[in-house]
Structure 1
Amino acid sequence: MLIKAAGLIVYRFSNVSSKKAIEFLLLKASYGNHHWSPPKGIVNDKEDLIETAVRETKEETGLDKQYLKIFYDKLPIISEYKINGKPKTVYYWVAKLLAHKEIILSKEHVKYKWCDCSEAYNLVGHEEMKVALKTASTIISQSS
């Protein structure tokens, strides 16, 4: 059985050496191998993918739509892999943080971190997630 999930790849700009640098929001899971990933979760029966992405981001970080500019007009970034031998597909949309808001983690996560692209690629570990972040970087660059 295919597992479907959705989430948002949340980013902000930081000024490093008078240059805008992309920082991604990553969450460290409180379970399993304590992997790092953007906020995401399983799609409920009566939800569409965007509804799941927004709901899960709010549940896991406290960030709701008023703090985010979600790039609805872009196709989702699709990440496919196996978890415990079962196929999983995660649909991500890119979302820019519009204003500072304290991150409030759910019990599903033990830590969060804003990471530049290089650090984010190293933290996520899985190749599929690295590809998703690189795709997000391209979307952000084309939208800025």
Structure 2
Amino acid sequence: MQEHQQSETPLGELLPAYVTHVLAKNGIHTVEAVRRAYPHELLKLRGMGMLRFKQIEKAFFPGKSFEPVLARRPIRHIKGSSLNGLLTPETVQALARDGIMTAEQLCAMEPKDLLKIRGLGLVKLREIERLFFPGQQYEIPRVRKQAAVDDVA
């Protein structure tokens, strides 16, 4: 067993420290262990993202480029909402939580009231404006403290 450990090459400084740290936390300490784990087992490691994976690939597998197949999540639809497909699912969900299910209900609301809906911020408001109020953009009132900071700058 001792001979087997000596024949394996430690990672040392072959990779950036943060990549070596992720590998070590997952029990991979040698070049041979990295080669055995490539590609699927490496991708399953806790803390291993595509950036770290690509750095390992570049160091130990030059010329190779493994691209995992990513499963796409189905688009969520909110039952009973006619806004499905018009707006992003997250926006439709935020509106539905507040009882807004139709374009008519949405158009009847003021932008300042839309911003009071939990989960609906400026980005989602701009999405709604582009689709339902083309050419209009609600001016967000500045807080006095922020206005003072902006005026100084």
TM category, shorter: under 0.3
Structure with higher RCO (Cα < 8 A, 6+ apart):
1
Please state which structure has a larger fraction of its residues in helix: 2
Please state which structure has a larger fraction of its residues in strand: 1
TM-score for both structures, normalised by structure 1: 0.25
TM-score for both structures, normalised by structure 2: 0.23
